[in-house]
Amino acid sequence: MGWFLARENFATRTHLIRDFARYPELRWLDRYDVAVPAALFAALWLLGSWLEVAHPSLGTGPWQLVVWGFCISTVVLFHGTFVINSLAHGWGSRRYATGDDSRNNFLLALITFGEGWHNNHHRYPSAARQGFYWWEIDVSWYLLRVLAALRVVRDLRPVSSSVLAAGRRPRRDGVS
């Protein structure tokens, strides 16, 4: 259970994501990973302080916004991440024979906005999409498509046709 706290799992393995180095904003975020949470904390504190003075009838203050908008949301986010990397390696189905025990899990996919299609992700990790087929609900992919339409993101990498074709064929090793 302590895999996410192990020192060797903290450093970014850039050799596995070579295109990462092309994006200075991602390198900056990787190096200064505390900057965004600190900015969120400060913004929530300032907003709460302003609301407390400007709209006292709301009964909102800085600590209330920090607890709900920072602390609780961070705990939920971490648990979502950890549940995928823990449970999606034990429960679900395996469409692809990968070198690990990753599995696709519909329920986990629903509560994590698509991350539960973990076996798909392990088979083709460079795709922006984890629900490879129309029936695999992947809310993160839908949001990325909206952001691409708005030109906020670009170059979303699709799933290769060969990977899709291989996933449609029945497995011969008895794993479903």
Burial class (CB in 10 A: 0-12, 13-18, 19+), 18: exposed
Q: Is the pLDDT of residue 175 over 70?
A: no
Taking the CA atoms of residue 113, residue 115, residue 116 and residue 121 in that order, the dihedral angle to the nearest 10 degrees is 140
pLDDT-derived band at 80 (thresholds 50, 70, 90) equals confident
> Quick check: 41 and 66 in contact, CB under 8 A?
yes
Q: CA-to-CA distance for 166 and 135, rounded, in angstroms?
A: 17
The string of pLDDT tens digits covering residues 106-164 is: 999 999 999 999 999 999 998 999 999 999 999 999 999 999 999 999 889 989 888 88
pTM: 0.71
pLDDT digits (tens, 9 = 90+) for 8-31: 777 888 887 888 888 899 889 989
Distance of CA 82 to the CA centre of its chain: 10
